[in-house]
Amino acid sequence: MPHLRVRGLPLEDLESIADTLLENLAEITDTPNSHFTLEYQAITYLAVGGASPAYPFFEVLWFDRGDEVKAKVTRAIEYLTRPLVKSGQDITVLFHDIQGKDYYENGEHF
């Protein structure tokens, strides 16, 4: 934990920034990089008329670290992802704050 789900970005592009991204986020959150997981989701966006161009969408599942840290994480993701996408293309970051009472690992409550 934290867990990042990423879609709308080619796997090769995500792989090219993965190490740097996780190192930066570990530093920002003061969390060991080994505690992060990065999940790639291959998806197809649909709109009226069929397939639609994808845009990078990052979901961050974690224990809340406050708005200041969220803003820093968002800027780090934007900084590394922006060179990989078309000019003006959206990059979305969505945070899911997990409550400790809802988190279990290996059958144990944290």
What's the CA gap between 2 and 35, in Å, rounded? 7
The structure's pTM equals 0.89
Each residue's pLDDT tens digit, 30-83: 999 999 999 999 998 888 888 877 899 999 999 999 999 999 999 999 999 999
Judge whether 100 and 110 are in contact, CB under 8 Å. Answer: yes
Quick check: 101 pLDDT over 80?
no
Domains of the chain (ranges, CATH numbers): 3-87 (3.30.429.10)
Quick check: 91 pLDDT over 90?
yes
Per-chain mean pLDDT for the chain: 92
Count of CB atoms situated within 10 Å of the CB of 36: 20
Judge whether 7 and 57 are in contact, CB under 8 Å. Answer: yes
Quick check: 22 pLDDT over 80?
yes
Judge whether 67 and 31 are in contact, CB under 8 Å. Answer: no
Which residues, 6 or more positions from 51, have their beta carbon under 8 angstroms from its beta carbon?
44, 45
DSSP string computed for 2-33: -EEEEESS-HHHHHHHHHHHHHHHHHHHT--G
